[in-house]
Amino acid sequence: MLCSKCNQSADALTDNGLCDDCHAKAESRRIAIIALARERHQEEGEVEIDDEAKLSEGDDNGCYVAAWVWLDFGETKFDKAKGENHERTKETQA
């Protein structure tokens, strides 16, 4: 079998057709990209990025990193505290 990246023959390839060397390189690059994305964009409770976050990389000088964006239900039709005597509601009425 040939590695899809370096074209060397390998006994075993990973799911995406890489030899162990290329897989290890790709893996450390992926981890470093996620660390950079967290450094620049993660805000606890607002925007969070998983260890296994999907990356979408094309030819442009950057990439998309899948992230979790917190959505507050407060004062929307999804509000779980609706009708309850919730502190937030009290403050709004006062």
Number of shown-chain residues binding Zn ion (CB under 5 A):
5
If binding is defined by CB under 5 A, does position 23 make contact with Zn ion?
Answer: no
34 near Zn ion, judged by CB under 5 A: no
Could you give the CA distance from residue 8 to residue 23 in angstroms, rounded to a whole number? 13
Member of 22, 34, 37, 65 binding Zn ion (CB under 5 A): 22
Does the footprint of Zn ion cover residue 37 (CB under 5 A)?
no
The beta-carbon contacts of 73-81 under 8 Å, at least 24 apart in sequence, are: none
Q: What is the rounded distance in angstroms from the CA atom of residue 53 to the CA atom of residue 32? A: 12
Q: Which residue has the tokens 């390998």?
A: 10
- Binds Zn ion (CB under 5 A): choice among 19, 34, 37, 65: 19
- Cα–Cα distance for residue pair 66/68, rounded to 1 Å: 7
Query: Nearest distance from residue 25's CB to Zn ion, in Å?
Result: 8
Positions that interact with Zn ion (CB under 5 A): 3, 5-6, 19, 22
